[in-house]
Structure 1
């Protein structure tokens, strides 16, 4: 628990969202209305769907051919698959992204609700939904994700989260896109539930850590160099190295 929380506390994304979450909590109690309870539920569920959609369609999209765009995707997700136990790659490099996303979402929700509730109420309900409901759900996601990857003693909850998420990393990166505990129904809803037989057919030990890409793909090699990575994924040998004859010891 302590090791997991230490990583969360140092996450730049959560640090930037925290003041806005505190403001939302204050607003929730100071201007309380039963509608806020519905807003919290809506915001949390919305975030769980955002978690799934971004993971599946943004982070696992077809690898870009343009190197600069590929580097962004590498830093935001591919690097995490190649080095899943390195806390440096638990999150992307843009720590302001989540806050910008939340602000845009706040503006859109406020505009939709404005004609029905009035401007002030629309903004207030949208703020509580997104900066309390969604940010709380996002923090829970980051907790589950971090817990799945850190090597610490785990109880029933931690084991369930770890078993589910690491199946995505080490068995089938084309399934199990949810991470948060209890959200497996979203994968079932969209047909990406983990299936052992399908996973066995898809599994390729040479490419599983690079999300289906050849680990010697020039884009991967260039991206690793761009971020100062000198080690190979999980310390595995490349195909060429694996076939080379070992040098005699002296």
Structure 2
């Protein structure tokens, strides 16, 4: 068995998928999640993540970058702007990746279809899978390494860490706000309600709009924000219906955790609940 071999369950799910990033299919709405990789380490450590783990991986960079930003008076203003630029820059990167790298037509090329499904289709088909909401190491670590290497080449040491700290702060905001929009289902604040409704529109009504997760800023800038109250309410109703089906699937199949420990996989009907 190769390390990155896919399960039969994953292969069947991709075969059924029409290649469109949008609302989950009727069949997938009845499930909570599927297993992607046969290898247990890849599946549970590299390709999925507990929502708090990004703070462990990248929290040090935020703390260290913040310390360097505020550590001494000379040049502090410039460092504050650099840190803030990292936060803002990541929000733009988040928007651009989501809009152009995660939403495209794979056509009839099955390899392209598999790539797109891994990158984003999986989340749209199983939006309530708690282990695949924050970016897993297979996605977040390479992007972080590339950005840090770029900063290191272009800036002095301290400036590189300050900018990287701001970037990581923006990334953590993105990951945790994304988790919030899916799993904090009764937000109390106006901002929380707006973010949840806007993301519901993206998932269930207009998948080519509302690309910003941590903020609608860049959707406003580029004209991709769907703000209609009627559309948001309709999308939220569909979101709640899908969440109810997913919750029911989780209650029906509580033995899902045992599948992960064995490293094996079952049929789609058995192994798809968390």
Q: Shorter-chain-normalised TM-score: which range?
A: 0.5 to 0.7
Q: 1:177 to 1:195 in 2, by over 3 A?
A: same
8 Å CA contact 2:61, 2:161 repeated in 1: no
1:155 aligns with 2:149: no
Question: Which residue number in structure 1 is paired with residue 139 of structure 2?
Answer: 97
8 Å CA contact 1:76, 1:89 repeated in 2: no
**1:187 alignment partner, one of 181, 203, 219:** 219
1:109 aligns with 2:151: yes
CA distance in structure 1 between the aligned counterparts of 2:91 and 2:217, rounded to whole angstroms: 11
Aligned residues: 189
TM-score, structure 2 as length reference = 0.59
Question: Which residue number in structure 1 is paired with residue 45 of structure 2?
Answer: none
CA distance in structure 1 between the aligned counterparts of 2:103 and 2:134, rounded to whole angstroms: 15
TM-score, structure 1 as length reference = 0.64
Question: Which residue number in structure 1 is paired with residue 128 of structure 2?
Answer: 85
Question: Please, which moves more after superposition, 28-37 or 70-79?
Answer: 28-37
1:145 aligns with 2:173: no
Question: Which residue number in structure 2 is paired with residue 51 of structure 1?
Answer: 94
The 5-angstrom pairing of residues 21-40 of structure 1 reads 21-30=62-71, 33-34=75-76, 35-40=78-83
Bigger CA radius of gyration: 1
CA distance in structure 1 between the aligned counterparts of 2:66 and 2:222, rounded to whole angstroms: 33
Superposed displacement of residue 75, structure 1:
2.6
8 Å CA contact 1:76, 1:91 repeated in 2: no
Superposed displacement of residue 98, structure 1:
2.4
Runs of 4+ in 1 over 6 A off after TM superposition: none
CA distance in structure 2 between the aligned counterparts of 1:64 and 1:97, rounded to whole angstroms: 23
Q: Report the aligned-residue RMSD.
A: 3.3
Superposed displacement of residue 133, structure 1:
0.9
Superposed displacement of residue 52, structure 1:
0.2
Q: Secondary structure at the match of 1:99?
A: helix
Once the two structures are superposed, residues 204-242 of structure 1 have per-residue CA deviations (whole angstroms, 9 ceiling, x without a partner) of x9xxx9xxxxxxxxxxxxxxxxx97826xxx9xxxxxxx
Higher relative contact order at CA 8 Å, sep ≥6: structure 1 or structure 2?
2
Once the two structures are superposed, residues 117-163 of structure 1 have per-residue CA deviations (whole angstroms, 9 ceiling, x without a partner) of xxxxx231122112x21111111111211111115432013212111
8 Å CA contact 2:65, 2:83 repeated in 1: no
Q: 1:84 to 1:18 in 2, by over 3 A?
A: same
1:72 aligns with 2:115: yes
1:16 aligns with 2:54: no
Q: 1:28 to 1:230 in 2, by over 3 A?
A: same
Q: Secondary structure at the match of 1:153?
A: coil
Once the two structures are superposed, residues 77-108 of structure 1 have per-residue CA deviations (whole angstroms, 9 ceiling, x without a partner) of 1111112122133145x414323323322332
CA distance in structure 2 between the aligned counterparts of 1:65 and 1:123, rounded to whole angstroms: 47
CA distance in structure 2 between the aligned counterparts of 1:84 and 1:153, rounded to whole angstroms: 17
Instruction: Extract unaligned runs of 5+ from structure 1.
Output: 1-5, 114-121, 210-226, 236-250
Question: Which residue number in structure 2 is paired with residue 221 of structure 1?
Answer: none
